[in-house]
Structure 1
Amino acid sequence: MTSVEFNSAISKTSKSLKPFAMRLTKDHEDANDLLQDTLMKAFLNRDKYSDGTNLKAWLYTIMKNTFITNYQRMVRKNTFIDTTDNLHYINNMESSIDNNAYSEFAMEDINNAVETLDEAYKMPFLMHFKGFKYHEIAQKLSIPIGTVKNRIHIARKELKDKLYMYAYSY
């Protein structure tokens, strides 16, 4: 295969590489960089390509290996190795202390939100939260089981709306 044929074949195939790069990197700019690195390596190593083999598979392999190499390089770059005589443990979870401030604020918000519920919804919700079964709640409150389920559902929905700021936490 001549250089012109090789370049033409690569430019036709390169369009199908972009979605694969996006799946690997999950970022548009990183995908473009990965695609560029892949094509550069393909052009520089065209003597290693065997005529008659699957060019697309060869390019996908180059891309996958480039991504893995870049990822490993990034991990190594972000790894700190302590070479001092004291051998301190940096970011060691055993020695870190959590003061639970965030969870205390969250619990306070949850308790406040539960307290603002209408009494008709709060009581079935709290009983269910404490472990009572639907039929036990219905019996204790002298209401139909369907009403119990409905009130718990409404209480959950109201709490979800009131506590929206915690929807994507943790």
Structure 2
Amino acid sequence: MTALEFDRELTNAKSILFSFALKLTKDYQNAQDLFQDAATRGYRYCEKFETGTNFRAWMATIIRNTFINRCRYNQKRRNLSEPIEAFTFAIENKNIVPNEGESNLRIQEIYRSLDNLSEIYRTPFLMHLNGYEYKDIAQHMGVPIGTIKSRLSTARSMLKTAIQQKSAISSI
């Protein structure tokens, strides 16, 4: 379909297609915007229109898909642009007196698990925990950086396993 044919077909079907856009949006201004966007898309892809098929149905499909895409976009945008004040309930502390007992017990449990690690895993893990970089830890221990990375990974795995086992035992 050429641009001239597209323009002629769109002019002939404009009132029906605009009515369809108005029915979807239920607002005159939004219907005009929707019709304009759909006409632009239709013009851009007019070479994909198969001659001999129903032009109005093809354009109605474009209008409907454009409307659906706008609705999805607006819904995502509405969720992402909520003011931070709408979420203050989530960060407010509802306890009058903070209770840190459970977190203190968990921290003590982690340190006990750390004490059970052998020295070659515990030292690099604690140094990394205190902010030392891999190269500093490697230099202090006199081993390559790759060895330090491997030991840290192993230490993490061992700690994770130990904590999971203790959690499984305590939940019984």
Structure 2 length-normalised TM: 0.46
Structure 1 or 2, whichever has the larger Rg, is 2
Which structure has the highest helix share of the two?
2
